[in-house]
């Protein structure tokens, strides 16, 4: 069967070149005579894989030497608890910005460890914008300040990063890591579930400034202790070996594309093609404030549930799949992460034009 054009929000499409490389090495990786998923995580072959994955990530994101890189399990959702357990350790206070489902879950977990100050929220308009931040509302005694840089469900993103002074800035970058350059030194900690721009589900990347580790709360489970994970090189227990291998292949591919700066140009072009159509369509409507709209996740509606359903059904028949919006908001959503091609986005827009002609 011919491959479809996959607009899934996650797990999302992987670069075809990565899948073909993994396919070619499935039965035997290099001269090992075995698959990566069969080999010991402490073997020479596997240690070379995880070390190369970290080196690639450090190069692509220009990660300073005083930051540690971890490959963990539990997804970004585990980090909602792991961050406060390790960082909310001095004044038992933290600042959070509420921009959607994932930040709300992070707020709830942090509330188990101390006092959460929600400095701003966009819930009043169904998270369709990024709220303006007033530094006077920031708590200078907060142990950390949490944001979600890109909101997958609602299609919003931060276009500028808040200055939190001496308070460590924590960022959930699950859906826009590696899509554009970020100055890692502006953050105390970055985490990202892999299943959007990094690789398959099952791996979570953590980038932590080393001075923030080692101050965990006394009752922090060993597995959730950053210092323990650092000291064991992400191998306190058996890591998700095959997932990390695929992340390494994705990072190899991204380097082949010219790196983060080069892929950002492609991402902007893809988003421009889709938004230009939506801005001028008589049928389809965008749902996000223009100044805050994401280049990774593009939600849209027709204004009619029946037409939305008809569009999704017709698109699927044409091989344009996973366009249904999140169950909490409905409508449609095209996720156009790094692996999505310009051609794929253009085919979607061409189909939308034809659907509008036939159903407008």
Chunked into runs of 10 residues, the chain (360 residues) has average pLDDT values of 94 98 97 96 96 98 98 97 97 98 98 97 96 96 98 97 97 98 98 97 98 96 98 96 98 98 98 98 95 98 96 98 90 98 98 93
Contacts 24+ apart (CB under 8 A), 166-169: 166/140, 167/95, 167/138, 167/139, 167/140, 167/142, 167/143, 168/87, 168/143, 168/144, 168/209, 168/212, 169/144, 169/145
Q: Which of 180, 196, 270, 324 is flagged as catalytic?
A: 196
Residue 322 sits at the vertex; the CA angle it makes with 316 and 323, to the nearest 5 degrees, is 85
Q: Is the CATH number of domain 17-256 3.40.50.2300?
A: no
Alpha helices in the chain (DSSP H): 16-24, 44-61, 75-87, 101-110, 226-231, 241-256, 260-280, 305-317, 342-359
**pLDDT value, residue 340:** 98
Nearest of 3, 92, 7, 1 to residue 335 by alpha carbon:
7
| CA distance from start to end of the chain | 32
**pLDDT value, residue 72:** 98
Taking the C-alpha atoms of residue 39 and residue 17, their distance in angstroms, rounded to an integer, is 23
Tokens representing 285 are 């409507």
Beta-bridge mates of residue 320: 5
Per the document, the length of the chain is 360
Q: Which of 95, 172, 176, 308 is flagged as catalytic?
A: 172
DSSP state of 218: T
Q: Rg of the chain over CA atoms, in angstroms? A: 21
* Predicted structure pTM score: 0.97
253 is an active site residue: no
Q: Are strands 189-193 and 169-172 parallel, antiparallel or unpaired?
A: parallel
Instruction: Indicate the fold that domain 258-359 takes in CATH.
Output: 3.90.1150
What residue spans define the domains of the chain? 17-256, 258-359
Tokens representing 142 are 């907060």
- Give just the sign of the alpha carbon dihedral 270, 311, 303, 354: positive
Contacts of 278 (CB under 8 A, 6+ apart): 284, 285, 286, 298, 300
Q: Which of 68, 93, 95, 102 is flagged as catalytic?
A: 102
**pLDDT value, residue 327:** 80
Taking the C-alpha atoms of residue 88 and residue 110, their distance in angstroms, rounded to an integer, is 8
Nearest of 353, 316, 266 to residue 4 by alpha carbon:
316
**pLDDT value, residue 329:** 85
95 is an active site residue: no
309 is an active site residue: no
Determine phi and psi for 259, rounding to 5 degrees.
95, -170
Phi-psi region at 213: left, alpha or beta (left = phi > 0; alpha = psi -120 to 50): beta
């Amino acid at each position: 069967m011919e491959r479809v054009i996959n607009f899934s929000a996650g797990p999302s499409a992987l670069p075809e070149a990565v899948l073909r490389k993994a396919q070619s090495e499935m039965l035997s990786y290099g001269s090992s005579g075995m698959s990566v998923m069969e080999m010991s995580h402490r073997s020479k072959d596997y240690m070379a894989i995880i070390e190369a994955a970290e080196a690639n990530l450090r190069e692509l994101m220009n990660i300073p030497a005083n930051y540690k890189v971890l490959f963990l399990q539990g997804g970004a959702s585990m980090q909602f608890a792991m961050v406060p357990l390790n960082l909310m350790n001095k004044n038992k206070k933290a600042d959070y910005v509420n921009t959607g489902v994932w930040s709300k879950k992070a707020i709830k977990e942090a509330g188990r460890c101390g006092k959460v100050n929600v400095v701003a929220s966009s819930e009043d308009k169904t998270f369709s914008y990024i709220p303006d931040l007033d530094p006077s509302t920031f708590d200078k005694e907060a142990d950390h300040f949490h944001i979600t840089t890109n909101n997958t469900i609602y299609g919003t993103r931060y276009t500028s990063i808040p200055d939190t002074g001496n308070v460590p800035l924590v960022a959930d970058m699950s859906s826009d890591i590696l899509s554009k350059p970020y100055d890692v030194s502006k953050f105390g900690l970055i985490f990202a579930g892999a299943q959007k721009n990094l690789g398959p589900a099952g791996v979570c990347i953590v980038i932590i400034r080393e001075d923030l580790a080692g101050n965990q709360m006394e009752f922090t489970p060993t597995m959730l202790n950053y210092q323990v994970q650092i000291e064991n090189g992400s191998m306190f227990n058996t890591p998700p070996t095959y997932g990390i291998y695929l992340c390494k292949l994705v990072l190899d591919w991204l380097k082949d594309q010219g790196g983060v700066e080069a892929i950002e140009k492609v991402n902007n072009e893809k988003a421009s093609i889709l938004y230009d159509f939506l801005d001028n369509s008589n049928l389809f409507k965008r749902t996000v404030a223009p100044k805050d709209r994401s280049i990774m996740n593009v939600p849209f509606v027709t204004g009619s549930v029946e037409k939305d359903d008809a569009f999704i059904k017709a698109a699927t028949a044409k091989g344009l799949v996973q366009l249904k919006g999140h169950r909490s908001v409905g409508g449609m959503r095209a996720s156009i992460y790094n692996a999505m091609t310009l051609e794929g986005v253009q085919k979607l827009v061409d189909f939308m034009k034809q659907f509008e002609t036939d159903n407008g």
